[in-house]
Amino acid sequence: TWSIPLFTSPPEEHHPLAIAATALKSSNLPVAFPTETVYGLGADATRSEAVRGIYAAKGRPSDNPLIVHVPDLDMLKRFLPDTGLPEIYKEMITKFWPGPLTILLPVPTGKGGILAPEVTAGLETFGVRMPASALARTLIKLVGNPLAAPSANASTRPSPTKAEHVLEDLEGRIELILDGGDCSVGVESTVVDGLCSPPVVLRPGGVGIEELKKCKGWEGVVKGYKDHSEVGDKNGTPRAPGMKYKHYSPRARVVLFEGGKRLEKGDVKGGGGETVAFIRTGKWREVAGGSRSSKVEERIRGEGEEGGSFVVKQGVLLDEDGKEITKLLDVDLGQDVKGVAHGLFAALRELDRLGADVIFVEGVSDGDDIAAAVMNRLRKAASEIRH
Ligand code: TXA
Ligand code: MG
């Protein structure tokens, strides 16, 4: 039973993983842990008091269900003692588990009914996934029970992809954070419902729809989420309860450039004392200045600052008299969509930290790959969309 990713025998009691596992077994305060998507805020999914601790720490509405995390198929089978895994998921989990895919299953009853009711928020289904992170799977194995875990951000904030992000939002409200460094994927798991026909993607995420379509039974999968700002939209309550809330938002106002629209010269005029930030995903171009544009580039001074996998360039826009009119912050996430997904939440948080008032973000072209997740998160974070 010690065939878990990181140990061949139990870790010593002072090992960080052992400390985290002990806290998960005994405390009602949640424990943050890394996964390959984003940091999760975990509690033993079989203990009601512990699961309630997650909602309290996050300030999460109690009608928004949590995803259950298992380390292996043996633990999954505990939910399915009589029924077994529905056929529709078999090929899919072989292909994508462990990894960023969450499947919905009927809430088990009888012998399989081990989940605390708070996990499922009164729904008839629950979401479950097997994370790729070896740390995450080892931790769950050590606890010996599945972990319920939402993303470890305060509700409405961008999801955490570094331990520091969790500390920023939840310091003092949780038991501990297991620091596993940067999350490799950077956006959350894809949530799918294969219990209905046709099957539905409830949240785009780390596994692209084009990949799902290659699985038997999923050729006709439909999108069951809505991207375009829910504000004022009366039709269609999203089926993943979490998708109806304001989400992923930094303090700064986010302006999203859609449909291939790129930041251009003159988009930033300056004035008003605002700190203006850019997140670029296309080729670099000069965007500040208007009539003064030709002089701006040499007047942008300042050095790059390490911000994880990207660099934030800082500068100022000056008027003719050399007076500072606007501070500028500039992040380039590169043109590879996986890199954009990896750095997106960290960039939003870093620009917040550096005092941005407004963040202009270049979208990526909306594909059936991880780009769908990037654009979904950005549309939810944006208070203005420009086409
Ligand atoms: O990558 C991830 O999925 C991360 C890591 C920590 O595993 N977790 C995560 O959890 O993103 P959370 O709670 O932030 O988002 C879960 C989403 C929410 O939109 C929730 O409404 C939806 O999944 N969800 C969970 N259970 C559901 C169910 N039974 N039916 C419909 N939607 C469900
Ligand atoms: Mg979340």
Q: What's the CA gap between 105 and 89, in Å, rounded? A: 10
- Match 């270049």 to its residue by tokens: 362
Rounded Cα distance, 360 and 331, in Å = 10
Report the residue among 159, 188, 344, 380 best suited for mutation to probe ligand 1: largest number of ligand atoms under 8 A from its CB: 188
Tell me, what's the ipTM?
0.99
Summarize pLDDT for 163-210 with one digit per residue, the tens.
999 999 999 999 999 999 999 999 999 999 999 999 999 999 999 999
Tally the domains of the chain: 2
Which pLDDT score, from 0 to 100, does residue 333 have?
92
CA of 150 to the centre of ligand 2 (A): 6
Shared domain check, 149 and 20: yes
Where does ligand 1 bind, in terms of residues with CB under 6 Å?
Answer: 35, 37-38, 40, 64-67, 100, 102, 104, 123, 125-127, 149-151, 188-189, 191, 202-203, 239-243
The predicted pLDDT at position 14 comes to: 94
Phi and psi at 185, nearest 5°, equal -80, -50
Any domain includes 10: no
Same domain, 201 and 279: no
Q: Tell me whether the omega of the peptide bond preceding residue 158 falls within 30 degrees of 0, making it cis.
A: no
Return the SS3 of 308.
coil
In order of 74, 103, 144, 352, the CA distances from 111 in angstroms are: 15, 21, 17, 48
Domain annotation covers residue 7: no
CATH number at residue 146: 3.90.870.10
Q: Which ligand is nearest to the Cα of residue 66, counting in written order? A: 1
CATH classification of the domain holding 358: 3.40.50
Task: Based on the fold, state whether residues 67 and 138 are members of the same structural domain.
Answer: yes
Residues 117 and 233 in one domain: yes
Indicate the top mutation candidate among 70, 123, 130, 191 to test ligand 1's pocket, ranked by most ligand atoms within 8 A of CB: 191
**How far is the centre of ligand 2, averaged over its atoms, from the C-alpha of 193 (Å)?**
18
Residue 89 φ then ψ, to 5°: -95, -10
Nearest CA to ligand 1 atom 33: 240
| 223 and 270 inside one domain | no
End-of-domain residue from the set 244, 277, 302:
244
pLDDT tens over the chain, length 387 residues: 456 677 888 889 999 999 999 999 999 999 999 999 999 999 999 999 999 999 999 998 888 999 999 999 999 999 888 888 999 999 999 999 999 999 999 998 888 899 999 999 889 999 999 999 999 999 999 999 999 999 999 989 999 999 999 999 999 999 999 999 999 999 999 999 999 999 999 999 999 999 999 999 999 999 999 875 443 334 445 555 655 556 788 999 999 998 778 877 677 766 677 899 999 997 666 665 544 433 344 344 444 555 457 888 888 877 778 777 788 898 999 889 999 999 999 999 999 999 999 999 999 988 899 999 999 999 999 988 888
> Which of the listed residues 244, 263, 283 is the one where a domain comes to its end?
244
Domain membership of residue 215 as a residue range: 16-244
> Within a domain: residue 2?
no
pLDDT for position 8:
80
**Are 254 and 382 a contacting pair, CB within 8 Å?**
yes
Query: Residues 80, 219: one domain?
Result: yes
Of 244, 277, 309, which residue is a domain's last?
A: 244
Same domain, 238 and 259: no
pLDDT of residue 44: 98
226/262 same-domain check: no
Structure-block tokens of residue 277: 């930030």
Nearest residue to 101 via CA among 190, 211, 209, 212: 190
As given in the structure block, the two tokens for residue 77 are: 């089978």
Distance of CA 251 from the midpoint of ligand 1 (Å):
23
**DSSP classification of residue 268:** B
Check residue 145 and give its pLDDT: 97
